[in-house]
Each structure stands twice: as C-alpha cells, then as structure tokens.
Amino acid sequence: MNPADLGLPVDVPSTALFTDQYELTMLQAALRAGTADRRSVFEVFTRRLPDGRRYGVVAGTGRVLDAVENFRFDAGVLGFLRERGIVDEPTLEWLASYRFSGDIWGYPEGEVYFPGSPILRVEGSFAECVLLETVILSILNHDSAIAAAASRMSAAAAGRPLIEMGARRTHELAAVASARAAYVGGFTTTSDLAAGFRYGIPTVGTSAHAFTLLHDSERDAFRAQVDSLGRGTTLLVDTYDVAEAVRTAVEIAGPELGAVRIDSGDLLLVAHRVRQQLDELGAKNTKIVVTSDLDEYAIASLAAAPVDAYGVGTQLVTGSGHPTCSMVYKLVARAQSADPKAPLVPVAKKSMGGKTSIGGRKWAARRADADGIAEAEVVGTGPVPADLADRQLLAELVKGGVVVAREPLDTARERHIAARAALPMSAIQLSRGEPVLPTEYA
C-alpha cells in the first residue's frame, strides 16, 4: 500500500501557494528588469538559538524535499493569481513551467546546529530560488522547534519510552509534522493515526476518562476494555479513586495487566504508591505510564520514580516554550550578470538592529578534539582547511532539480542521537545556558 496514492490529507498536490505574495511580485520585477536569471545562493541559518538552549536540531528536511518537488503552478493556482491581479501575464507564463532546477545542500535531518550554521543552501537562478523561501522556512522553523523540544525530553527520559500525544493541542496537520519531528528527536511512538499512516511511526493508545464515565461503574469500563483489547491493555486509573481503580484493574485483568495510566495528581508520589500497590497485588510486570502536562523538567524530576513511559502533549507540540525557530532565508551571493559563468559576488544587508548577516557561499564543519568530542562549529566562505575536510556538515540533497537524498525517518532519528552524543556532556543539561559549541568564522 502506498500512502501517497490514497489522497489523504497529509500529502498535498501542490505547495506553490505556501508562499508570501512578495516572492511573486519580486519575481515579476526581476523578470522585467532582466535580473531574474542571475545565479544566486540563498542560505537558511539562524542568528541565535532560543534563549537558554544549548543546541538546535535540524528537522523537516525530508518534508522540504517533498515540498520542492511538488512546487508547481497548475491552472487553478494560475487562475487565482490572474483573477486577483497578483502578477502580470509574462510572470504567469513563467510560473506555468516552473520546476526547481537548481541545487540544494544542507545539514542532514537530525543533525544538530548552532547560530550561524548554514543549515540549508539553495542555489540556482534568483527567480527559481526566491519562490521557495516561505515554504522552506515554514517547514524547517516548525519541525526543528518541535525536534529540539523532543530531543531535550528524550535526553531527560534517559532511555524510557516517550509517547507523542499532542495532536489535540496544535493544528491538525502541524500535529502530523510534530509527531514526525518528535520521532527524529528521540520519541518512541505517537498517538496520532495520521502520523502512523503517513510516516510509519509506531502508534499507541490507552483510554480516556470518557470511556470510564460512559459505563455504569469503573469495574464495567475496565471489564469492557480488557474483554475487547486483552489483558495487555493500558487502563486509566484516575477517574475516581486511584487505589481502588488499581485494585479493580488487577482483579479484572490479573497480573498480566499491561499498564496503568495516571493523568493527574502529584505524579511522583502517585507513581510510587501505585508501583507498591501493583507489586503487592502481584502485578510486578504491569507498567506505569504517566501523562499530564509533562515537559523535559517534569520528566527529569520523575527520573527516580517507578515510571515506565511518559506521554507528552502540549509542551512537545509547542516546542516547550519555543514554538518556532528564528531561521531566515537570505541571499548571500549572486552573479553580476545573467551570464551563467559570471562570478558570484557575496552580498549582505548592512543595517540597524543586529540583523546583519555574513555574505558569501558557506561551508561548515564540526571540529572535534582528540577524543572525538565536538569543540566548535566552523563556518567559512573560502577553501575548506585540510583538517576539516572530512568533518564537513553539508550534504547534497537536490542536484539539478532532482532529489538525491531520500532516506528513512529512522536514519534521521539515529543520526540525531549520534550527533547529540558527540557534543560535550553539558549539551544535555536542561538548565539555561549558552550554545554548547562556539561558532567560529574561518
């Protein structure tokens, strides 16, 4: 079964309108001025990490590749642009045959990043590159924010499974992307069926209070659930009295009961009590799942509690205080003429308010010490120093308009865990701090 054939909401036929209007009007003006064909290099980077964070996590790269491939102006879209008078006829004609034909290099998905890291480099004519700004930034800014929160949570969970269950707290399709980004950041499963369908992420489910309340007693509800879903199911034990619910649960399911879920109260205290009670009832293998507004700090605070899995919702899908990254998409170099052989000139805004950036087409490498631990993010525009040649971070993703770097989501997930492990230990401290690596400009 190929999910893409099913027309489900998670696949989109065109991404071309995920675009700010000014990209099209700039295109029109450049076409008329004869500057649209100038070879251009755009880079995605961020000037800073969210306050107190020690590293960023690149996520969404796979979705960016899909978006670039599906960036097409069909008759319906062109009709809309014409009817609204957004661009003129020559521009509409140009858009009708739009296919990105340039090159994209970038940090592979799951890699960590720091201020100034050239996370993505898009190269081609000004016209073909400028149009991609909004959709590329939407994807990377959203997905990377979620992955960064997920990574902190997975570090705090120290190997215990993490269930993504935030769909109800964010836009229904942002939820699917969030489940994907969370998986890259180290989560184990998701409750979101669309994410399971589209990306193959393992899905799980327990039960809600509504199910208990539907029945004439908690006992009836537990029996209904166990009868239908088996003894391995997870029973929700905090609708009325937890101790009574745990007793009833084990009475009905026996010691083979899969798990109980606790969704309110002082989780540390309640988990200890429930563990003791389960053990006394002989249900030594019954697991305890906790949920209830968890974030990385709450997860860390439960490290010594007898908890077997964490379910995380709101704080994950809102990036644990930082729901977006501040990545920008900037022209860093362009040719002096439309001649494809014209040399590239570095360009950069030179203005007020700290919004300056560094011009020129960049490479990046992560320098490591003798033990293999990363010690600096090195970014440069000239030749790559010999000692950094095999520590380069940018990988080829699109070549001449063709995607050349598709990979399973598990690859990105494993890459993230490896990249994080190669950072200094202080990277996974939850307390606020500076980026764990300095960015050096060569």
Q: Contacts with a second copy in 351-390 (CB under 8 A)? A: 351-355
Question: Helix (H, G, I), strand (E, B), or coil: what is residue 368?
Answer: strand
Q: Name the residue nearer to a second copy (CB basis): 136 or 250.
A: 136
Does residue number 96 form part of the binding site for a second copy (CB under 8 A)?
A: no
Tell me the one-letter amino acid at 109.
E
Least gap, CB of 123 to a second copy (angstroms): 14
Q: Name the residue nearer to a second copy (CB basis): 62 or 420.
A: 62
Does residue number 97 form part of the binding site for a second copy (CB under 8 A)?
A: no
Q: Name the residue nearer to a second copy (CB basis): 240 or 441.
A: 240
Least gap, CB of 318 to a second copy (angstroms): 5
Q: Are 420 and 112 in contact (CB under 8 A)?
A: yes
State the Rg of the chain over Cα.
Answer: 25
Beta bridge partners of 259: 234, 287
Residue count of the chain, please give it.
Answer: 442
Measure the CA–CA gap between 160 and 187, rounded to whole angstroms. 10
**Other C-beta atoms within 10 Å of 367: how many?**
16
DSSP states along 90-152: HHHHHHHT----SEEEEPPTT-EE-TT---EEEEEEHHHHHTTHHHHHHHHHHHHHHHHHHHH
Q: How is residue 348 written in tokens?
A: 């950069």
Site for a second copy in 39-68 (CB under 8 A): 40, 42, 67
Q: How is residue 390 written in tokens?
A: 């095999």
Site for a second copy in 147-186 (CB under 8 A): 165, 167-177
Measure the CA–CA gap between 170 and 318, rounded to whole angstroms. 8
Interface segment toward a second copy; rule CB under 8 A; list 247-255, 344-352, 374-382, 386-394: 344-352
Q: How is residue 89 written in tokens?
A: 């006829």
Number of residues that bind a second copy (CB under 8 A): 125
Which residue shows structure tokens 């960064």?
148
Q: Name the residue nearer to a second copy (CB basis): 77 or 405.
A: 77
In the chain, what's the furthest Cα-to-Cα distance?
80
Least gap, CB of 364 to a second copy (angstroms): 21
Q: Are 437 and 93 in contact (CB under 8 A)?
A: no
Does residue number 301 form part of the binding site for a second copy (CB under 8 A)?
A: no
In this chain, which of 52, 93, 101, 205 binds a second copy, going by CB under 8 A?
A: 205
In this chain, which of 285, 336, 426, 429 binds a second copy, going by CB under 8 A?
A: 336
Does residue number 284 form part of the binding site for a second copy (CB under 8 A)?
A: no
Interface segment toward a second copy; rule CB under 8 A; list 212-220, 380-388, 402-410, 432-440: 212-220
Site for a second copy in 224-243 (CB under 8 A): 224-225, 227-229, 233, 238-242
